[in-house]
Each structure stands twice: as C-alpha cells, then as structure tokens.
Amino acid sequence: MPKWLNTAVFYEIYPQSFYDTNGDGIGDLQGIIEKLPYVKSLGCNALWLNPVYDSPFMDAGYDVRNHKQVAQRYGTNEDMKRLLDTAHEMGIRVLLDLVPGHTSDTNPWFQEAKKAKKNEYSNRYIFTNSVWDAPSEYRLMCGICERDGNYLVNYFSSQPALNYGFDEITHPDWQLPCDHPDCLATAEALKDIMRFWLDMGADGFRVDMADSLVKNDKEKHATAKIWQGVREMMDKDYPDAALVAEWCYPERAIKDAGFHMDFYLDHYGNGYSRLFRYLDEKSENHAFFHKSGKGDITAFLDEYVPAYELTKDLGYISFMTNNHDMPRATYYMDKETIKLSHAMIFTMPGVPFLYYGDELGMRYQQELVSKEGGYSRTGSRTPMQWDSSKNLGFSEADADKLYLPVDSEEDAPTVENQKDDANSIYKVVTDIIRLRREIPQLGNDSDFEVVYAEKEKYPFVYRRGDYVIFVNPSGKDETIPFAEDIKDTVYTIGKVDFKDSKATVCASSLAIIRTK
C-alpha cells in the first residue's frame, strides 16, 4: 500500500474546463501547472485528471484514440512531463484517468480489427461471426465494418468494447474464454499503457468503469483476476503508485480485485444517494443532508459500515464532493447544507476527493445543450470560476469560443470573492482539510464508530479516535443524550450546546469536539 495515500486529499480537475492559457477557449496542461499553487493552498496534495489523451472527443476524451499521446488541445507529452515534475516538486501526486474497457472507434487497434482479413488485432475487440448475428442481450453496432460481423460497445456507439473474454460463454462461435491468448494480450496491452505513463512519472490511475472488462461476469471474479494481475505488476515495479476504481463495490474492488481505493458513487438509492441526493418520484428531497429532515441516516450506515469493516485494513473507500458525471451539489442542497456535507466528507476515513469548483459552490447549469457526450452531465463541467475578469478568469477567448459558458449570474461564486469570505463554502472546505491534516485521527489514524444514529431521526454523531462529530442538516434543533466529558471544542458550524448530559444540535449545525 503506498504510504502517501494515508494522508492524501485529492482534487479532481476536468482539464478542458480548468484554466485556458493560450486563448482557444479550452483548458490546457499549462493552465493546470499555473494553478498548482492554488490546489496546494486548498490543502489538497493529490490530483486526479480526467482523460488528457488524443481523442475525437465523442465522449469528452473517454473515447481514446491514442493511449500514449496527449491531445493537442491540452498540449504535448512534454507538457505532461512538466506538469508531473512541477507537481512532485510541490509535494502533489497526480493520478491520470485510465479507460480500460473500450477505445474510440478511430483507434488504430480498431481500424485493424474491423478489416476482413484476420490480423493480430482481430480479437482485440468483440465481434460476432456474422452481420446477421445480433443477439438482443448485447449492445451491438451492426453493418458498419468491412468485416462480416457486429461489434459490442460498452455504451456510446463510438466506443467498441475491448476483449478480455467471457466468463460465461453463451455463444461459443464468437465468445472467447478469458484465458484465450488474444484476451490475455488485451490485458498485457493495458499494462503496457500504464507502464508508459508510470515511467513518465504518473502516480497511478483512476480507472473508468473498472468492473466492465470481462463480459458475462456476474460475480466479477474474472474481472477481479485481471486487476489482481495489474496489482502484481504495480507492486513489483511501481510500489508507490495507486489505483482508485470506479466500481462502488469495495468488497469486490478492494478485497477481491486489489484496488487501493474505491469510489463511493451516487447510485440512486444507495448509501451515498441516501446521504446527499435522494429525490423521490415527485422530486421531493429525502436525503439526510437536507433541511426537510426527511432523511434516514441508517440507510447509509447499513451499507457503509459493513463495507468499511470488511476493507479498512486493505484499502480506502473514497467519498467525493461530486464528480464530472453527476449534477453538482448545488442542485440538491443550499449553501448551509453543502457546508455540513463537505465537513462530513472530509472527516470520514478513506481518501476524499474534492471536485473542482465545489469549494466555491459552483452551480449546476442544467439548461446547457450537451457537449461532447455530456448530456445531463454537461452542466457540471463548466469552466472554473477564478475572478471577476473576462469569462470569470477562465479564458481570454471570446465567450462564443469557450468550451462551455461560464456562470452568467451576477453573484457567480469565484475564488476571488469566496476566499476571504468567512461565511463561504471555501472557508469551510479549507478549514476542514487543514484540520484533517493537523489531527490525523480525523483522517485515517483512527477507526470510525457510530455514536448516535436512529432511523429517520437527527442528528448523526460519530467518533474518530478522541474526537466526536455531531451533524444536524435538518431545519429543526435536535437534543440527544450525551454524557461524555468534553476537553475541547475544535470546530463548529452553527451552534451545538452541551448541558445536563445532553447535546442540543441546532438546525444546520455541526461540531467537532475532543473527549479524551
């Protein structure tokens, strides 16, 4: 296990929306380099960059054309090397995005695979044996290739699925077992890509759709075996490098597959959803973090606690404030509730991730037309808001040339107008990250213990070593029994009173106290 993960706090950067230095309206690697001091000032000591590779950008770079080349719009491989070196000089680690399950249909591998004449790439992707063979249970592209057959895609039509084999073979005339030499060659090609960037200085990868490799793999054991092989390679040759899975199943991702971290993702009705984003069919908010007070903390704990106990000695569950695939928190919560939710995220065990702009309370722009396959996700990918200058400091380009429009509201939050505001989300985020660094027990140097959590009740109280955290996102004051001696009040949002062996956690309040 890389030791640096124990104290890591990540900042996710969507490269095309972060900072544009050449005036073309799209963020670039030089922009990230120039803003590294800002990342460090937040208290973050690690980055995750969304894909920066050569691509036709049908899916914002998750359709990779050349795995070993930086996309021209971001810069060059030399720029990436400078970014890695500069970040390391500042004590910042960098994870790149790895897309193992598919490529672009313009990738040279696929250009060879779709040829009629058999070649070394013919089985790099999954083709049926005939254009007339199109089983309905698979997502297939039909009648496109010179080759007589249809090919599987993982989602978009421009993303043919790479062939790691099938765990359960239901069509033996075209499905290969996982141990077929051509399927093993796909896994080796993946390792080769990883070595290229690790040798350049990358500190590891966030893995897109990590559970999507082997098909008909219900329990994901065959997919896990591939990642075990990757982990063996990393432990041997790159022991300080790390992997975080887009899986949201820590028992499988961490325990079975050997990932160092697994994201806690927003899947409707799961623990993360029930904490932060649980809307019913009438769009009424039943998340725990909402002033309506209709949430149920036990719906989160019943899922999280067993997963945490099973994996805490093997890896980290990674909470995130948001990411590029879901509406920003401002779509679900008001400013005061966001402060509380962020404070909880950064006082939980694991390796937390802060999405760019979430420290400001950037808005979700839901009216935008889809950009590069973003669809409903597009409104969470708008440019970072730096200051009051042109395009909120993102770019000198004309507004109609921007990758996406900036927030046009007069009160748009920016780094400039938030960083010195004592009532800002920025202040809470930077304060809590600082506390996490100064008090290791609020990070990964102590276990997680539930102190008070009742079904459909508030507040939620949990212990991290010598410290107890009280949080009440509801709109009502709540009083519970609490008889422990209080040595110190470390941090508060709102008001929490302790009297007569009781704790009264006022509406929209949080407190961190030391009891030992």
Q: Which residues contact 429 (CB under 8 A, 6 or more apart)?
A: 42, 342, 346, 354, 358, 359
Helix, strand, or coil here: 329?
A: helix
Would you state the pLDDT for residue 282?
Answer: 86
> Under DSSP, is residue 342 helix (H, G, I), strand (E, B) or coil?
helix
The pLDDT, as a whole number, for residue 405 is 98
Q: What does DSSP say about strands 478-481 and 502-505: parallel, antiparallel, or unpaired? A: antiparallel
Spans of the chain, pLDDT less than 70 = none
What H or E segment, with its residue span, contains residue 111? helix 108-113
**Residue 67 confidence (pLDDT):** 98
Task: Provide CATH code, domain 102-163.
Answer: 3.90.400.10
pLDDT digits (tens, 9 = 90+) for 164-203: 999 999 999 999 999 999 999 999 999 999 999 999 999 9
* Amino acid identity for residue 357 in this structure: G
For 3-100+183-438, the fitting CATH number among 3.40.1350.10, 3.20.20.80, 1.20.140.10, 3.30.460.10 is 3.20.20.80
What are 300's two structure tokens?
Answer: 């989160």
Domain boundaries along the sequence of the chain: 3-100+183-438, 102-163, 448-514
Q: For residue 331, what are the contacts with CB-CB under 8 A and spacing of at least 6?
A: 364, 366
pLDDT at 306: 98
HSE-CB at 97 with a 13 A cutoff on CA atoms is 23
| Rounded distance between C-alpha atoms, residue 359 and residue 136, angstroms | 45
CATH for 448-514, options being 2.40.30.10, 3.20.20.100, 2.60.120.560, 2.60.40.1180: 2.60.40.1180
| Cα-to-chain-centroid distance, residue 203 | 16
Q: Which tens digits make up the pLDDT trace of 402-428?
A: 999 999 999 999 999 999 999 999 999
Q: What is the gyration radius of the CA atoms in the chain, in angstroms?
A: 24
Q: Taking Cα atoms as reference points, which of 377, 87, 355, 98 lies closest to residue 244? A: 98
